[in-house]
Amino acid sequence: MTSLLELHNLTKAFFGIAAVKDVSLSINAGETLGLIGQNGAGKSTLVNIVGGVVHSDSGHMTLSEQPYTPRIPADAQHAGVAFIHQELNLFTNLTIAENIFISNFPRMGVLRTIDRAKIKALTGELLASVGLDIPSDTYVERISPGERQLVEIAKALYQDASLIIFDEPTTSLTARETERLFAIMGQLRAQGKAIVYISHILGDVQKLSDQIAVMRDGELVACEPASALTIKRMISLMVGRSIEQLYPKRTTSPTTDPLLTAKNISASGIVEDISFTLHKGEVLGLFGLMGSGRTELARMIFGADQFESGEIVVEGELVRKPSPRSSIHNKIAFVTENRREEGLLMSIDIANNISLVSLPEFARSMLQVIDQRQMFDSARETANTLQLKSGDIRQQPVKSLSGGNQQKVVIAKWLLSRPSIFIMDEPTRGIDVGAKYEIYTIIDRLAAEGSGVLIISSELEELIGMCDRILVMSRGEIYGEFTREQFQDERILRAAFREQDLPMMSVHDGQAKRD
Amino acid sequence: MSILDDRLSSAHALSQRQATKPRSGSPIRRAIQDFLLSDYFVLYLTLFFFITAAIFFPSLRNPGNIANQLQNMWPLLAVAIGQTFVLILGGIDLSVGATMGITSVVGAIVMAQTLDPSFFDRSPLWGTLMRPEGGVLAGSEWAVPVGVVVMLVTGTLIGFLNGYAITRFNLAPFMVTLVTSTFFAAFALWLTQSRNISGLPEAFLNLGKGDILSIYLGPKLTSDIARRDILSFITYPFVISVGLAFISQFLLSRTVFGRQMFSIGTNRRASEISGVPGKSVITRVYMFSGFCAAVASIMYSGRIGFGQPSLGGGNLLLDVIGAAVIGGTSLFGGKGSVRGTFFGVAFFVLLSNILNAMQLSPFVIDAVKGVIILLAALIDITRTRLINREQRV
Amino acid sequence: MKRFSRKISLVLFLALVVLPLTFTIVSAQEDITICFGFQDLETEFWVAGHRAITDTLREQGVEVLEYNANEDPNRQLEQIRECIAQGVDGIIIIPQDGDSAVTIINEAQAADIPIAVFNRPPNDRSRGITVVADNVSATEQAVEFIAQKALRQYEITGEPITPLILVGALQDTNAIGRRDGFYNVINRYNERYPGLFNTPIEVATEWDAATALANLEAAITANPNVDFIFTSSDFLFPTIRSVLEPRGMWQPMGTPGHVLLAGLDGDATACMLIDEGYVDGTGVQNLFLEAQLTLDRILQAVAAGETQPNEVLLDPGFALTAGNIHFQRSDMWGCVLYDEGFLNQ
């Protein structure tokens, strides 16, 4: 059997941080390769290189023994590489047939008009081959996510793809649609197509794949036959070595005074019956896979989103109608997941970003005139505490800062309002290791000063490195609670994947179990 | 290098410089870049146009002409400042023209000293608020102050309506203000049956054209000076608009309200998560815009001498939004200044003056005006791109 | 970067070099300068009015400064102030409305510059030179001509004539004057020849073609035996045609079933329709006479050093009919436009 696609020593770095490090891999025709790894392990970057979306810094690829250097996604398409994304790439306002032929309409006659009859006939055949019984002139907006997935596959078949990459294809599918997808994948494999299957559902990966490649921190740590791997082993390969030195030693221990208590928070389809307590001086981790409801929960607690039932109690007082303003009044800070969209005013200077939350505090008189000197002094002082590296904070726009320094501006903005509760959603996403360490130090100091910190992260190591306690969320519920002595990455991951019997099932009042 | 440094002495330019890589290229190109990047660019451009044109058309140099152009700027400046606020917020207020029309009518209904039955007997207000003996407060000493207050309140209320609809129902500002604009323009016409309401008190007319300080250039030959030789300099509109400009600039740069406006215009989601009361700020800004339109309406109505339902129609909206944008206010929000808008207003007023002096055929004059505005906008885009390039790290 | 900077230089070049060059088209200096401010050039009537003034002035060697206010009285006020600042010798305006005319006249007279108002009279005619088209008189002349024809028809057939009038927006003094003129003639003839005219049918138009169409359709359906239609403005002739034609009532003169048609204004379409025999006559403002009257008076004031001339000049208008179109053609602004191919543009 000859290999269809070979990757040789591919390396890709973004802003100096390696996303893919020296990866070599091959895949044969008629074979399915499972690709697994934690968020940020480099899976997406790797397949994006294959799909022509990003270009590798070094290394090379061959496809059917020919050099393969896709510069744009269309190159990959022509070479027979199809890419079926997590978020589907169909035009919902066009018909199925138009979507399939969008980049290459069959033409006829001198006028090169679109050959509708031919399109119809061809689409019929293609849809039949993926088992989809819908008229080809149906608008895509009217069909289900599962059916759209099949249309994507039909499109790949039309382009005569020899390699089809599936990136988390089942996230939006029902169980039945998933079954149908797997059946089609089986057929494709029988027809001699090579398939790359990326998924967080390790059971599926094991069932579907011939080979499984495991990535961690941009490196390929294993590529073994599926039959030789257990799910347990896959998880430990994904988690890898211990990384203690990346985190500062915690200086204090949490107290038992409750700061913030969530009681039975529910919002249908998003989170269900969530209860937990954050204590003074505690760093509480909230772990979960993408879509587990962790970010949504954080937003509800802060009041950025609404929930349907449940209560939030801050320092013994019930919060009537949580809103960002009431939360700020209650001394809660919220470092959002995405700095650009919800954290910063990118084109505005650093000082005004830092003072945004506390603006009313600098206001004097009826007219709400800002005491400029005090405002700039406070902003500067806070920036200095965080060792922000920048030019004049009154002039330099935030967008010209590095990711780590931007994150510091977000934290500074909240620090200035002297909060006692910090909710941080992915506080270290997209920043380099050095800046991460500084952020961790800040978190430790906040806890040491008596604040409560709730960290949401999809990087398990960082939670293990920093937290006193970790809650695991899965499908909108809290599915496990781990205290420091129970920290064991495999067990936590298994809880997140719902792969196992838990040390403690559905925790309703975490604080009771702590002591 | 020292010349360059002088040019760069404004704090703004300095900031750009600190945030940038060292510049490359010839000194000439650098000089052009600095010129383009200056905050005063629009002013330079306007003065350059005007001075060049004045060489060929002596009538432009006439002190009377210059005094006139200054007077023409004031009402436009007032309404453009309101629009600037809305644009900074990332919105747009298309209803300023109609707001001016309806406030003009409402003010005249309060103040008119006599009303001609043959014009107004079909008005829905005839016999109640409008009578042959005049408007609501005809003849009263309170007519002018109350009329002015009623006008300002009406404008502010329309702004509130805009702001409320936009924030409460999450509608596009473009749609909301277009609808209020159509509604109030029609309402003004209905109230007056398309008639102007004349017979306004002298004290009100003064708000539109009254001189406070005038200038006479030339020898004193006779005891009385012809009216045409007296140049208006400081007039009521001057005081009103310049006052409004200073207050606006203060609001914008020195108050919580101003900072919150910029933050919402830059990123509303981030601002609201940071506790900025988005809905309230947005509503207040539209109210301010309505207020400014009413101020402009007072000046225009006073100058023309009657309440005019069609006031603010026609091309005025182009001048208002155009002046703000030429002055550096971004249509996408988060960027703008009162000073820039002042320059933009000067640009529009002097451009009209120049084109008139050129005596182009009336059939082509608007086309030429359009081309020049487009050119100025192109230069501004080039400029913005240059600034962004400079700031990229 | 290279391409980008080339773009900058192109834009700069255009802005800094080409535009100032266009300023160099300097007009010749003449002795008398008249400022002419008008409102718009969007209807043929105003195009003709504008031309009548500028051509006549230039023929006499007067320099004309033209200002188009685009229907904005405030802008017109600014423009007239600009004229005053430039020290023009006289001002002629076509104002947007009677109120702004008053304000502008005051502004000019305060600066000691003679001013005349053309075609749209100010509300207060005591100040400034005002040329007024006499709507009543012009309408009477046109309707008189039709009434003569109707009388002849009545004498032959003995059938009374049913007249119909398309009335303008009655807030408009023009519309009122035209309606009054129409009734004056009808009543006069009915006094002298009782039974000649039935009670006229009134059709409201609000000066809007769509409204006119709907109301006229209804009126003709209710009274299919209308013999004579008078429209308060010629711009409605196409509307009348679209109502009459499907009913077989759009016939040229001398053909059985011809409906007597008359109007007011005398635009190019009316001129064409009179030529073709469909329309019997139209009352015409003597635009050229008005222009001449205005100019003569303002130039006289300039020459005499009168700074605040006040006078109302009347234009009686005339009826343009199939009978006189040959020799009065050149006085009729619509025909001048028509003959120059205005309708073919």
- Say yes or no for a CB contact (<8 Å) between B64 and C85: yes
Higher pLDDT, A217 or A393: A393
Q: What is the 3-state secondary structure (H, E, C) of C254-288?
A: CCCCCCEEEEEECCHHHHHHHHHCCCCEEEECCHH
DSSP string, C26-95: PPPP-S-EEEEEE----SHHHHHHHHHHHHHHHHTT-EEEEEE-TT-HHHHHHHHHHHHHHT-SEEEE--
Total count of residues recorded for chain A: 515
Q: Do B392 and A334 touch (CB under 8 A)?
A: no
* Cβ–Cβ contact A343 with B under 8 A: yes
Residues of chain B contacting C74 with CB distance shorter than 8 Å: 75, 300, 303-304, 308, 311
C129, pLDDT greater than 80: yes
The C-alpha torsion from B82 through B88 and B90 to B95, rounded to 10°, is 10
CB contact under 8 A, B226 and C112: yes
pLDDT at residue A53, rounded to an integer: 81
Q: With CB atoms and an 8 Å threshold, state whether A397 touches B18.
A: no
Closest in B56, B64, B315 to C23, CB measured: B56
Partners of C36 in the β-ladder: C66, C92
pLDDT of residue C13: 52
In B, minimum Cα distance to C83 occurs at B65
| Structure letter (DSSP) for residue B74 | H
Q: Are C22 and B358 in contact (CB under 8 A)?
A: yes
Q: How far apart are CA A14 and CA A23, in angstroms?
A: 16
Q: Which range, B37-46, B149-158, C151-160, C321-330, is most confident?
A: B149-158
Tell me which long-range contacts C272-277 makes (C-beta under 8 A, separation of at least 24).
Answer: C272/C338, C272/C343, C273/C237, C274/C320, C274/C321, C274/C322, C274/C325, C275/C325, C275/C338, C276/C252, C277/C252, C277/C253, C277/C322
With beta carbons less than 8 A apart as the criterion, state whether A407 and A431 touch: yes
The pLDDT assigned to B337 comes to 92
Measured at the alpha carbon of residue B221, what is the angle toward residues B215 and B223, in degrees to the nearest 5?
A: 75
> Of residues B269 and A106, which shows the higher confidence score?
B269
Q: Which residue has the higher pLDDT, A512 or B67?
A: B67
- Distance (Å, whole) CA A298 – CA A303: 9
A455 touches A284 (CB < 8 A): yes
pLDDT at C325: 81
In angstroms, the CA B328 to CA B317 distance is 17
Window 283-342 of B, Cβ < 8 Å to A:
334-335
- Structure confidence at residue C68 (pLDDT): 87
Question: From residue B351, how far is each of A258, A402, B52, B255, B319 by CA, in Å?
Answer: 68, 44, 12, 34, 11
Residue A370 has its nearest CB partner, among B19, B256, B335, at B256
Question: Which tokens in the block code for residue B308?
Answer: 């005019």
Query: Would you say residue B256 has pLDDT above 90?
Result: yes
**B374 Cβ partners below 8 Å, 6+ apart?**
none
> Strands A271-279 and A317-318, how do they pair?
unpaired
C-beta of residue C39 within 8 angstroms of C-beta of residue C75: no
Q: What are phi and psi of A343, to 5 degrees?
A: -105, -40
User: In terms of Cα–Cα distance, which of C101, C103, C106, C97 is closest to C130?
Assistant: C101
Check residue A430 and give its pLDDT.
65
* Per-residue confidence (pLDDT) for residue A337, from 0 to 100: 83
Evaluate the CA torsion angle B352, B355, B361, B367 in order and state its sign: negative
For tokens 């060697």, the residue is C61
Q: Give yes or no for residue A512 having a pLDDT over 60.
A: no
What are C123's two structure tokens? 């509300």
Whether B270 sits inside 8 A of A344 (CB atoms) is yes
Highest mean pLDDT among A26-30, A501-505, B298-302, B371-375: B298-302
DSSP strand pairing (A309-314 vs A258-267): antiparallel
Helix or strand or coil: residue B11?
helix
Helices B256-266 and B236-254: crossing angle in degrees, nearest 10, is 70
The answer to which of A188-202, B339-353, C8-22, C114-128 has the lowest mean pLDDT is: C8-22
Phi, psi (degrees; rounded to nearest 5) at A115: -90, 90
Check pLDDT > 70 for residue C17.
no
Helix (H) or strand (E) holding A355: helix A350-355
User: In chain A, positions 281-340, which contact chain B (CB-CB < 8 Å)?
Assistant: 302, 304, 324-325, 328, 334, 336
- Whole-angstrom distance, CA of residue B154 vs CA of residue B165: 17
List all residues 6 or more positions away from A291 whose beta carbon is below 8 Å from its beta carbon.
A171
Any B CB within 8 A of C97 CB: yes
In percent, the amount of chain A with pLDDT more than 90 equals 30
d(Cα B306, Cα B199) in Å, to the nearest integer?
Answer: 7
Average pLDDT over residues B62-74: 88
What is the β-pairing status of strands A477-483 and A469-474?
antiparallel
**What is the full DSSP assignment across C183-198?**
HHHHHHHHHHSTTSBP
Element (H, E) at A121: helix A116-129
Contact (Cβ atoms closer than 8 angstroms) between residue A263 and residue A275: yes
Using 50, 70 and 90 to split pLDDT, how confident is the model at A282?
very high
CA distances from B339 to B84, B166, B253, B326, B327 (A): 10, 28, 12, 12, 8
C39: closest CA of chain B, how far (Å): 11
Task: Round to whole Å and give the CA distance between A56 and C28.
Answer: 71
The pLDDT of residue B236 is 92
b (16+ CB within 10 A) / e for A70-86? beeeeebbebbbbbbbe
Q: Rounded to whole angstroms, how far apart are CA atoms C88 and C111?
A: 11
Q: List pLDDT tens digits, range C240-268.
A: 999 999 998 999 988 888 999 999 988 88
Element (H, E) at C203: strand C201-204
Ranking A61-70, A86-95, C89-98 by mean pLDDT, the lowest is: A86-95
pLDDT tens, B312-333? 887 889 889 989 988 888 888 8
Contact A35, A231 (CB under 8 A): no
Q: Which of C95, C151, C84, C149 lies closest to C121 in space, CA to CA? A: C95
CB contacts of C26 in chain B (<8 Å) are: 56-57
Are A459 and A452 spatial neighbours (Cβ–Cβ below 8 Å)? no
Chain C nearest-CA residue for B364: C68
Q: What pLDDT, on the 0 to 100 scale, is given for residue A433?
A: 59
Whether the pLDDT of residue A96 is over 70: the answer is yes
Asked if residue A245 lies in contact with residue A476, where contact means CB atoms within 8 angstroms, the answer is: no
* B14, B15, B270: residue with CB nearest A343: B270
The per-residue pLDDT for B263 is 94
Mean confidence (pLDDT) of chain B: 84
Report CB contact under 8 Å: C41, B362.
yes
B18 touches chain A (CB under 8 A): yes
Chains in contact with B, counting 3 or more C-beta pairs less than 8 Å apart as contact: A, C
Give residue B195's pLDDT: 83
Question: Which carries the bigger pLDDT value, residue A499 or residue B261?
Answer: B261
Do B and C make contact via 3 or more CB pairs under 8 A? The reply is yes
User: What is the predicted pLDDT for the residue at A514?
Assistant: 35
Burial of A468 (0-12, 13-18, 19+ CB in 10 A): buried
The reported pTM is 0.73
Among residues A134, A481, A53, the alpha carbon closest in space to that of A274 is found at A481
For A451-484, how does the pLDDT look when each residue is reduced to its tens digit (9 = 90+)? 999 999 877 888 988 999 999 998 888 888 999 8
Q: Distance between CA A358 and CA A375 in Å, rounded?
A: 9
Tell me how many residue pairs between chain B and chain C have CB atoms under 8 A apart.
135
**If 0-12 CB within 10 Å is exposed, 13-18 middle and 19+ buried, where does residue A203 land?**
exposed
- Provide the angle, in degrees to the nearest 10, between the axes of the packed helices B365-391 and B27-37: 110
Q: How many CB atoms lie within 10 A of CB B55?
A: 12
Taking alpha carbons only, the member of C338, C331, C212 closest to residue C270 is: C338
In this predicted structure, the answer to whether residue B238 has a pLDDT above a threshold of 90 is yes
How far is Cα of residue B318 from the mean position of the Cα atoms in its chain?
11
Can you give the three-state secondary structure of A132-201, one letter per residue?
CCCCCCCEHHHCCHHHHHHHHHHHHHHCCCCEEEEECCCCCCCHHHHHHHHHHHHHHHHCCCEEEEECCC
Residue type for position C198: N
Q: Do B275 and A324 touch (CB under 8 A)?
A: yes
Q: Say what the pLDDT of residue C12 is.
A: 54
H helix intervals, chain B = 2-7, 11-18, 27-37, 41-56, 63-88, 96-111, 117-120, 143-168, 173-192, 202-209, 236-254, 256-266, 268-273, 278-304, 316-326, 338-358, 365-391
Highest average pLDDT, of A107-111, A498-502, C192-196, comes from C192-196
Q: Residues A329, A357: contact at Cβ < 8 Å?
A: no
Give me the DSSP letters along A46-74: HHHHHTTSS--SEEEEEETTEE---SSHH
What's the angle, vertex CA A231, arms to CA A229 and CA A233, rounded to 5? Answer: 60
A481 forms beta bridges with A471
> pLDDT tens digit string along A126-138?
888 777 888 888 8
Instruction: Please check the confidence at residue B245 and state whether its pLDDT lies above 90.
Output: yes
